Chains A and B, each alone.
Chain A
Amino acid sequence: MRLTTATAIAALTLGAFGAQAQDKTVKIGNLNDMSSLYADIGGPGSTLAAQMAAEDSGLVAKGWKIEVIGGDHQNKPDVGGSIARQWYDVDNVDLIVDTPNSGVALAVSQITKDKNRVFLNSGAASSDLTGKACSPNTIHWTYDTYALANTTGKAVVKAGGDSWFFLTSDYAFGHALERDTEAVVLASGGKVAGKVRHPLNTPDFSSFLLQAQTSKAKIIGLANAGGDTTNSIKQASEFGIASGGQQLAALLLFVNDVHALGLNVAQGLTFTESFYWDLNEQTRGFSDRFAKRSKGGAKPSMVQAGTYSAVLHYLKALEALGGNPKDGAKVVAKMKEMPTDDPIFGKGTIRQDGRKIHPVYLFEVKKPAESKGPWDYYKLKATVPADEAFRPMKDGGCPLVKG
């Protein structure tokens, strides 16, 4: 009798230990704009990218159970925040990915920290995510406003565009992009003639563009994204901004935006991205597989590719830990420890402040004659190496760095 009890206790203890070490279930939530101005850049495509990462990780074959779900934050911080809270509290989501819209991203980052889960941001741009609002549970993956400003801003001023007028989306993202670009323009010897802020998701840019036109600035910097950028570029061409001698600088442009605009309107735009599907053999391979499954055969945007890369590395870290520890800060620490390597960005690292480091590229949109067909849109103009692309850690003001 005593023996059986002892065996039972031993079995139970072992069982308990086993269960703890072998918790191999992961739930990933893609919190995104599913129906509005950022839906093409991230949206359902990011859910697909996360699913592909789960398949490519090879963990399913090793007995892991990985589930990917999607949610629509409607670009409202309160909606995004309550979905995140519910995913963490009720649905046991371990990881939230992507989340374009910096306002929503900042809210989700805070909730993720409170609940000790993981937030891998690909879609939002605000450099504050690794600056004053950095968190031990958040990694900012694909790009940020500093990288955009630093690369595009410098290149444009160098090419003679030394007076700027900003057309800024009036929320966290736009403010950060405008602030970071202005700093670069001033540091490079340029000046800022003025700025105007427009509400998010604006259909009519005419009054803003007229102000930009009367400012006589050489460069009109578009500190907005997605549907807002394509709308302002289209309307600028209707207003004849280019023929008046002013140039547009799209500070954030995605391949889907160029696809929507068409090369006739978009040609000649110079901008910064960290991924383009036609960069090399590996990016082409991933993008072809993605396009076969995406809506309308669209190539992946930088944001969607970044989501794939982030989820892949997250799963690698979980495998290295031997199971899902259900401890966000621990997983993120492990992710920072391991070097990254994937078909999207090649080799890279994650800094202490949560910034993922890889090269960024300066692209120019091709002329219609140069393009071989749909999705053949970019010419590579310059490559900025990983260590120069992003804001130096000491300048960010992230409290994690001091400690």
Chain B
Amino acid sequence: MSAAAPAAAAQAAIAAPDAARDFRIAFAIMTALLIAAPFVVYPVFLMQALCFALFACAFNLLIGYVGLLSFGHAMFMGFAGYIAAHLAKVGSIDFTLPLIGVGPHWRFGPLPPLVAIAAGVVCSALLGLLVGALAIRRQGIYFAMITLALAQMVYFFCLQAPFTHGEDGIQSVPRGKLLGIDLSVDLSMYFFVLAIFLTGFLLIYRIIHSPFGEVLKAIRENEARAVSLGYSVDRYKLAAFVLSAALSGLAGATKSLAMQNASLTDVHWSMSGEVVLMTLIGGLGTIFGPVVGAFVIIAMLQYLSPFGQWVTIMQGVIFVVCVLAFRRGVIGELAAVWRKSL
């Protein structure tokens, strides 16, 4: 043990430039595949998978690098989706109080896609600030339960608020135009979604490998020691939580425009569970893992849908197999075999 430790440290020091090179190669392969994909696979399916991949990456930022298991991440994704869909379709903000009938009310008409998505991201970041400030005061299972409870409140709000249209959701959301390009064509929308996904993905990579990210990892490994080193742990946790919420919102807002609807499915607690599954199958704490996990799960949902409710059971079996047989997830196992960090 004592002999192995310096050796491992030396290896890590050598591995650092290697890791950056490995990332560049893997990133180039992924980008190339994603650029070629829509010419082979149905683009709408790919858009959906990309949005979930970004969602899973944002979730992984929290659980994989800070060690916080949020069980309410669907609220950020779903809520941002509603905001973006509403602004892109109707374009009004209404704070009229239900009983008194007065309050600020603005109507400005449908907004362009980027503005609608940005508004969704801002809303989910604010929501993340609120939820995070409450939740990070507790750890472990209590943290998870607080996020779940608050997510259920957001779900109820989305069920009852007039602008979300309850069970029907917001339907036929226009995709709009970007720089004169008509996004209602599936292929142009796909590349728009791909650009957003890659931006979000690189941002997450940058966060993880910044000094800020190093502190997050230190908190994950040993929170007490990070405190003793003088880091204000709560602030770091809150910042990570807000970043993760905002990126989940980016995924949700983009998805509601790409799929042209915002519905209760995306704020439901089962979506919070689905994202845990995606991250676990792909590989917790690996940067490419959640992307692979999201594609696996979404492909399953898509191609197994003729089996109806059996899909949930199949998902459960896959989850059990994954936990028993390859606990590090698809990418985690590959990384271990190739001795690379992916």
Contacts and interface: CB of A to CB of B under 8 A. Distances in A.
Interface stretch (A70-78, A349-357, A358-366): A70-78
B263 A78 contact: yes
Contacts of B259: 78, 81-82
Contact of A103 (B44, B45, B168): B168
Given A86-B44, A106-B171, A107-B261, A170 B305 contact: no
Contacts of B210: none
A85 interface: yes
A110 B171 contact: yes
A171 interface: yes
A170 B166 contact: yes
Given A82-B259, A85-B44, A171-B166, A107 B305 contact: no
B147 interface: no
B265 interface: yes
Contacts of B265: 76, 78-79
A261 interface: no
A77 B262 CA distance: 9
A86 B42 contact: yes
Contact of B167 (A35, A86, A90, A170): A170
B143 to A, nearest CB: 29
Interface residues of B, number: 23
A107 B172 contact: yes
A111 B259 CA distance: 11
A110 B172 contact: yes
Given A82-B44, A106-B171, A172-B168, A77 B308 contact: no
Interface in B207-235: none
Most buried by A among B167, B168, B266, B305: B167
A89 interface: yes
A83 interface: yes
B306 interface: yes
Secondary structure at chain B's binding surface: helix, strand, loop or mixed? helix
B48 interface: yes
Contact of A82 (B48, B306, B308): B48
B263 A76 contact: yes
Given A78-B169, A81-B171, A107-B172, A71 B44 contact: no
A77 B265 CA distance: 9
B260 interface: yes
Most buried by A among B159, B261, B265: B261
Given A89-B44, A200-B167, A83 B305 contact: yes
Interface string A40-84: 000000000000000000000000000000111010111101110
B2 interface: no
A233 interface: no
B169 A35 contact: no
A72 B308 contact: yes
Interface string B33-50: 000000000101100100
Most buried by B among A35, A72, A77: A77
Contacts of A200: 167
A205 B298 CA distance: 35
A135 to B, nearest CB: 11
A103 B45 CA distance: 22
Contact of B261 (A34, A77, A172): A77
B11 interface: no
A82 B186 CA distance: 13
A111 B173 CA distance: 11
Contacts of B48: 82
Interface in A195-219: 199-200
Most buried by B among A71, A103, A110: A103
A171 B306 contact: no
Most buried by A among B166, B168, B306: B168
Contacts of B166: 170-171
Interface string A156-173: 000000000000001110
B161 to A, nearest CB: 13
A35 B171 CA distance: 24
Contacts of B266: 78
Interface in B252-266: 259-261, 263-266
Contacts of B306: 70-72
Closest 3 A/B residue pairs (Cβ): A171-B167, A103-B168, A78-B263
Interface of B: 42, 44-45, 48, 159, 166-169, 171-172, 186, 259-261, 263-266, 305-306, 308-309
